[in-house]
Amino acid sequence: MIKDDSFYNNLTDGEEEEVRIFRYWKALMDLEFPNNAIKQKAQIGDEKWLMCPSCIDAWEDSDNRNAMVICPMCKQLFHNPRYRSPI
């Protein structure tokens, strides 16, 4: 957690370090919840692998905590087929 009172001001002023920190955490949060604008799901290869429906690359990912995944090859965003909503 950032306890620097000037963080928000530096962020809104476009300071490089604060923007970098914000973008890092935003990227993680964007994966945490389903994105209804995205229609495609990654494909399950087996219990440890996912496959990209666009470029057919496969990557090791057995995580079911994040609703979204990013293909490491083509960088496209997909729904995680292993995700189960906690609600």
Provide the β-strand partners of residue 51: 43, 58
Q: Would the pTM of this model clear 0.75, i.e. be above it?
A: yes
- Which residues, 6 or more positions from 50, have their beta carbon under 8 angstroms from its beta carbon? 42, 43, 44, 58, 59, 61, 69, 80, 81, 82
Position 1 scores a pLDDT of: 59
Is the per-residue pLDDT at 7 higher than 80? yes
Contact assessment for residue 34 and residue 68, using Cβ atoms and an 8 Å cutoff = yes
Sequence letter at residue 53: P
Among 83, 5, 65, 75, smallest CA distance to 29 is for: 65
Is the per-residue pLDDT at 63 higher than 90? no
Is the per-residue pLDDT at 58 higher than 90? yes
At 68-82, the pLDDT tens digits run: 999 999 999 999 999
Position 55 scores a pLDDT of: 97
Position 30 scores a pLDDT of: 93
